[in-house]
Structure 1
Amino acid sequence: MQRAALAGICGPLRGGARPGPLVCLFHASLPAFAADKGLLVKLRRKTGYSFVNCKKALEKFSGDSKQAEVWLHEQAQKEGWSKASKLQGRKTKEGLIGLMRAGNTAVMVEVNCETDFVSRNVKFQQLVQQAAAGTMFHHQDAKDQLTTYIKRFMNADELSQLRTGPDGCLLRDQMALAIGKLGENMAIKRAAWVAVPANYYIGSYVHGALAAANSPLDNMALGKYGALVICQTPEQSQKSNLADLGRRLSQHVVGMAPLSVGCLEDESGGDTETKMLAQPFLLDPSITVGQYVQPQGVSVVDFVRFECGEDTDIPEAE
């Protein structure tokens, strides 16, 4: 029986002759392309996709890493849109506030997810950066030749249509990729963009900031609360002094949540006061914010405050 089985594989024994050594001839088809280990490691590090998918992509395109990367993004986007549809409606109360500064401009964005765990993922943090960069790029033509400050807001629908640069993907596509990778519902909720002329300064502060080791973003501050404070300044003000002053005022806005700026003549209303200049100064409650800034020759003219997960309408641009 064993000889018969072997004969079926190696060919029948001829002429009833005493069998000699069996000589088996195997037909070997050309092997499929095997992904080079170096290319595989490089592609996985660059894209963040799984080992299996990167290997599949390289084999599909015979080691062409560029085509493999494009295919991986396309597949991830398809999967992301599928997951986005399935996850739609799930609450996104966690997330991050991202604050980006560039010259005389600043951007704050809020991007939400379902859990605090995902908000600490590098891929999610990159989505926050992309939202901030897209907002900054969208408004870049309005920052020059200013005579006073500009403050603009964008809602979720407007943000989804933004690109992250001249050749960048739409933010909604970037979010789909992030959903596909991380498996949680997400939302790019809102953004504020501010630009000022030379005799103004933008103070900024992010509370609950993540440790630098958790974030690859050099020009971003990430946290749960954020504030921008717009100040009109004396012409000879030192930038270092303004940076410290702006940070302190922004800390106050985060901590005391004023609803309006008010004016220096307003009397202090104590802890229930909602006008910023009449509130007890967070870092020295013995004086008001107005009493803190007046001797320094600085005028607070406006502010923006974001709190991650808060229910709020997007205000109209001023």
Structure 2
Amino acid sequence: MAVSAKLVKELREKTGAGMMDCKKALDATNGDLEAAFDWLREKGIAKAAKKADRIAAEGLTAFHIDGNTAAVVEVNSETDFVAKNQEFVELVNTIAQAVCANKPADVEAALKLNVNGEDLDTLIKEKTGKIGEKLTLRRIAVVEKNDNEVFGAYSHMGGSVTALVKIADSTEEKARDVAMHVAAQAPKYITEEDIPADVRERELNVLKTQAEEENAKAAKPKPANILERIISGRLQKNFKEVCLVDQEFVKDPDQTVAKYLGKGKVEAMIRFKVGEGIEKKEEDFAAEVAAQMKAAD
């Protein structure tokens, strides 16, 4: 049957797919709008599968807070251009809301969540097909609090970095300030007590070796007891630089985060930076364009 322009337009408005794709879908399904919609969904998923070997190291992070539950997510794309796409931004926020509402244990469980009648995994694959880049839900975090605790959250540069903290006996204003500090300063631990024993041992060995080598080259070597105090001092200095409560508060370097909080105690800290830890693939843009032009010929 002949497919009308009106039907093509309707399918295009419903799906956001290209005009020719909509026409092909309607031709393949004899003008059945719902079947054509499913056909496009299937093609979107198939298209996503072909992109599975690409590296998605750009994207956005986002948070969502609802009562005593908060969630942080990272969704990756292949380029930072897509990260500015309004449809992608809405997808990321939808995922953050779904994770906050359902509290999945991990990404695998999150991908099975029902969002508007379909699972999250399918939704992401459909958006991959529509947007044209591999999209990946990389990681999630869910934090719950009691009534005497407050959440503080902050997203930097529209979502390149998102930080979330849970603080007992404090205010939302102070919690947001601390979240901003976490986003800016990237502390690894909340307090020194949180530093694992193997990390402590490794750092101590490095500093001990450095100090002993320096001492061996010194014109007047220091005695063992003095050298031990030097190593201990350096160790404490290094630990203070990576522990949230001991860091100089970003909004007032004259005081530490702990001093700024007073009686407030940081119970949880999450910090997601887009692409953190992902090895980005080096692309030769000129060669890629040349290859595309050759393929078009």
Q: Normalising to structure 2: TM-score of the pair? A: 0.70
Measured against aligned partners, the alpha-carbon deviations of 1:273-305 in whole angstroms (never above 9, x if no partner) come to 1111111111111110011110xx322221111
Choose between structure 1 and 2: higher helix proportion: 2
How far did 1:253 drift? 0.5
Question: Does 2:137 correspond to 1:137?
Answer: no
Indicate the residue corresponding to 1:228 in structure 2: 164
Bigger Rg over Cα? 1
Indicate the residue corresponding to 2:272 in structure 1: 306
The 5 A counterparts of 1:84-123 are 84-123=48-87
Indicate the residue corresponding to 2:88 in structure 1: 124
Give me the whole-angstrom Cα distance separating, in 2, the residues matched to 1:288 and 1:275.
Answer: 11
Unpaired runs of at least 5, structure 2: 194-232, 279-297
SS in 1 for 2:177: helix
Question: Does 2:198 correspond to 1:258?
Answer: no
> 2:25·2:40 contact (CA, 8 Å) conserved in 1?
no
Give me the whole-angstrom Cα distance separating, in 1, the residues matched to 2:37 and 2:89.
Answer: 18
> 2:25·2:37 contact (CA, 8 Å) conserved in 1?
no
SS in 2 for 1:273: helix
The code of the aligned residue for 1:252 comes to: H
How far did 1:97 drift? 0.3
Match of 2:113 among 131, 152, 162: 162
> 2:25·2:39 contact (CA, 8 Å) conserved in 1?
no
CA RMSD of aligned residues (A): 2.9
Give me the whole-angstrom Cα distance separating, in 1, the residues matched to 2:131 and 2:42.
Answer: 14
Percent sequence identity over aligned pairs: 32
Match of 2:18 among 40, 45, 50: 50
Measured against aligned partners, the alpha-carbon deviations of 1:38-97 in whole angstroms (never above 9, x if no partner) come to x6655433421223444566788898xxx62x3344223322232222211211110000
Match of 2:248 among 247, 270, 280: 280
Unpaired runs of at least 5, structure 1: 1-30, 140-151, 210-222, 235-241, 313-318
SS in 1 for 2:165: strand
Quick one: structure 1 residues 77 and 56, their matched pair in 2 at CA, closer, same or farther if it must change by over 3 Å? closer
> 2:65·2:100 contact (CA, 8 Å) conserved in 1?
no
Quick one: structure 1 residues 60 and 77, their matched pair in 2 at CA, closer, same or farther if it must change by over 3 Å? closer
SS in 2 for 1:188: strand
Quick one: structure 1 residues 83 and 57, their matched pair in 2 at CA, closer, same or farther if it must change by over 3 Å? closer
Q: Normalising to structure 1: TM-score of the pair? A: 0.66
The code of the aligned residue for 1:178 comes to: K
Give me the whole-angstrom Cα distance separating, in 2, the residues matched to 1:55 and 1:86.
Answer: 22
Indicate the residue corresponding to 2:139 in structure 1: 190
Give me the whole-angstrom Cα distance separating, in 1, the residues matched to 2:192 and 2:168.
Answer: 14
Match of 1:269 among 234, 237, 247: 237
